[in-house]
Structure formats: structure tokens, C-alpha cells
Amino acid sequence: MSTNRTIKAEGNAQAAGALQRPDDYQPPLSITLPEILRNGSDSAFRELIWQLLVVAKRIHKYPEIFGHRIGISSAQYTVLIATAHMQGSEGIGIRALADYIHLPAPHITTTVGLLVNAGLLAKRQNPEDGRGVLVSMTEAGDAALRELAPFQQQINDELFDGLSRADFATFTRLVGKLVGNTQRAFDKADALQQTNIAPRKVAK
């Protein structure tokens, strides 16, 4: 009996070793869209995903860098610059600001409060909604962004160096499409997580 178990264990080990050989192991496809596959391979897709992750990780640091330059946090910078671009002539509501930044409204409310206390933003009651407020830039907030601008421009110029006008237009369109696709992908993942399949546990 002991010998049989030993032979079976050795056979399993050999099978596992064979599976891990790089010359004959092919992982399952991670995408099946024919427009993405190349000769039945998803290698170009995988390379793109890795590159996007690198870009996203680096871009994620920029609000921190810009905020630090003018003495505020990454989240505060994000809300400040979004307000500057979205306030129009009347100011912008918390919900609209949250939708633009893609963050929860309570998070935006807290950050706006900190910026108001710092004198960089102002808020007033929304005349069309007694329970809402409108947020707008103050002179100090505008001055902070103008102080930041030369530093910010050099970094962003470097970031998009080499892109033609047509490249930028195409890139903007594709990223806009991916923003919507990523939300639907998250929704699909949430729906699939509701199945009865238990997640695999990896031994520590």
C-alpha cells in the first residue's frame, strides 16, 4: 500500500512538473473577442494590460505630486482642479462633482469642507435646491493653481510628448469608451461573484 501511494505521488509530481514546462504550457485565454486576439493568442492584449497598469500606477501619483507642490493632499488637489474646470459661472454641486471625479459624494463633501476651511474653495446654498450647495473657487484657490501651472505644464507636456493632434483625439475617444466599459466590467464581476462557486484558497 505504501509503495502504491509513493508511485501515485511521484506520478502526480511528474505531471505537475510537465505542466509547468515553459515549452509546452499554454495558459487559458483571458479574453475571447476576435477583434483582440491575434492568431488565436491573447498575448497582445496581455501586454496592453500590463502597460496600462504601469501608466495608471504612474498617473495615480501625479495628483499627489501636484497637491504637494501647493501644500494640499492628493484628494484635495483632485477636487480643487475639478472644481476649477467644472464650476462654470454659478458653481458646481457636490453630486455633479462626485460624478465627474468618479468618487462617492460623502468623500467629496468631506474634501470640499477641508478646502473651504483652507480658503481655497467657497460654497453657498443652491438656489434651485435648498438642501444642496454650490462649490466654486476662491481667489486663493485660483492663485494656488496659477502658482502650480508652470510646474504642472512641464510634467504634462512630457507625459504627452510625441502624440499628434490626431493621436490625442483617438486616445481621448478610446479612453472615454474604456471608462464606460470598466464600469460594466465591474458590474459583470459583481454579478458573477454571486454564483455558488467558492473562491479557491491558496495555502500560505
- Cα 185 from Cα 178, distance rounded (Å): 10
* 21 band by pLDDT with thresholds 50, 70 and 90: low
Tell me if 45 is assigned to some domain.
Answer: no
Under 8 Å CB-to-CB from 87, ≥6 apart: which residues?
135, 136, 137
Tell me if 48 is assigned to some domain.
Answer: no
**Residues paired with 122 in a beta bridge:** 136
- Residue 74: alpha-carbon gap to chain centroid: 14
Under 8 Å CB-to-CB from 117, ≥6 apart: which residues?
none
Q: Is the pLDDT of residue 76 over 70?
A: yes
Q: Is the pLDDT of residue 24 over 90?
A: no
- For residues 154-177, average pLDDT: 96
**Residues paired with 41 in a beta bridge:** 38
**Mean pLDDT in the chain?**
88
Q: Give me the sheet containing 92-93, strands edge to edge.
A: 92-93, 129-137, 121-126
- What pLDDT is attached to residue 147? 97
Tell me if 1 is assigned to some domain.
Answer: no
Tell me if 204 is assigned to some domain.
Answer: no
- For residues 141-169, average pLDDT: 97
Would you give the DSSP letter of residue 40? T
Amino acid, single-letter form, for residue 21: R
Structural domain boundaries enclosing 80: 62-151
Q: Is the pLDDT of residue 204 over 90?
A: no
pLDDT digits (tens, 9 = 90+) for 35-72: 999 999 999 999 999 999 999 999 999 999 999 999 99
Domains contained in the chain, number:
1
Tell me if 168 is assigned to some domain.
Answer: no
- What pLDDT is attached to residue 118? 97
Tell me if 20 is assigned to some domain.
Answer: no
Q: Residue 144 is part of a domain; what is its CATH number?
A: 1.10.10.10
Tell me if 179 is assigned to some domain.
Answer: no
Under 8 Å CB-to-CB from 64, ≥6 apart: which residues?
73, 74, 77
- What pLDDT is attached to residue 128? 79
